[in-house]
Amino acid sequence: MCSVSAKEKTMDVAAEKKKAEIPSPDFPLEKKFASIDGYRIGYVESGKGDPVLFIHGNPTSSYLWRNILPQVAEDTGSRGIALDLLGFGESDKPDVVDYSIRLHADIIKGFIEQLDLKNLILVLHDWGGPLGAAYAVNHPENVRGIAFMETFLWPLVWKDFGNYAMAFKLFRSPLGHLLIQVMNVFVNNMISGAVLRKGNMTEEVMRHYRKPFPTIRSRRAVRAFLKLLPIEGKPLESDAFLEDIHQRIQNIKVPALWIKAVPGVVLSNDTEYHLYLLRGQLPQIIIKDFGPGLHYLQEENPEKIADFITEWMRQSKLDRKDRESVQPKNFRHAA
């Protein structure tokens, strides 16, 4: 009978620990659907209580929040909800539609009204940032807290893109059709490329991200979001949309949280000045240091994100459990 050496036991323990640290690829939440302006919009939810609405960006879906939403809902006594934007996840992908920024904003507004979501907390990433912030500045009476991560609330310039500038210029050019819709480069390469912990991006995880985009036509919304980015005044609609948010964001008086990674992508060493300018407009904002990470922080360490959101909600007395019985923990600002 063979005995197991101490070295082998140590290696087994280390392997199990490493395995446990990799976020689960499973998506156990039941997909539900709502009809918004004639479109079928998918969403998932967990828990009961005041709603916490999670809004994703490009080219992800509600799947992005699978390891965060249930934990936040349970720990704060809230109803966690994450929708699939039009053209993403299991939402409709119409063949003939202008995927405008206004259309996405109207779908979100209609979704909130259809589900009768009151006293919202918004958790926003990527394009979810400006889309959610637009709802907040237009409906401040229905929003009681906002958490941001790896997003933008201001018009952009090419310098903001750093080493990614050339790639995004190609994505917005006529070659974008070949790269984004035919070759599916943004899904196949950019998601995993914008995660620091490469081992987390297993084939099973990538299969979930690829699944909503099986055909060239199904990828139209992905390309549209890239063309909609408000860069140096173009396109005019997007630039005006972000400029309006930028000018009115100071009217948001509710608690706010920004989870910031290093080196990050949207906020890097060269562009983090945007965040400090935002702090001048939102002096109540709490900035939390996520640590090492690129863009899709939900795939880096979802538990840390969930903990940050939970503690911020407790500190700000936004969670049901805290309002009922628990005193908020000490939660310091960290730039």
Residues designated as active site = 126, 150, 295
CA distance 130 to 169: 21
Q: How far apart are CA 127 and CA 249, in angstroms?
A: 16
Q: Is 310 helix (H, G, I), strand (E, B) or coil?
A: helix
Cα separation values, 222 from 198, 236, 313, 320, 323, Å:
23, 19, 32, 37, 41
- Residue whose token pair is 């290696």: 11
Residue 274, Cβ neighbours under 10 Å: how many?
A: 16
Contacts with 195 (C-beta within 8 Å, 6 or more apart), sequence order: 201, 293, 294, 295, 296, 299, 300
Classified as helix, coil or strand, 19 is: helix
Task: With H, G, I as helix, E, B as strand and everything else as coil, classify residue 251.
Answer: helix
Which pair of structure tokens corresponds to residue 292? Answer: 């090492």
Rg of the chain over Cα atoms, rounded to whole angstroms, equals 20
Tell me, what amino acid is at 230? P
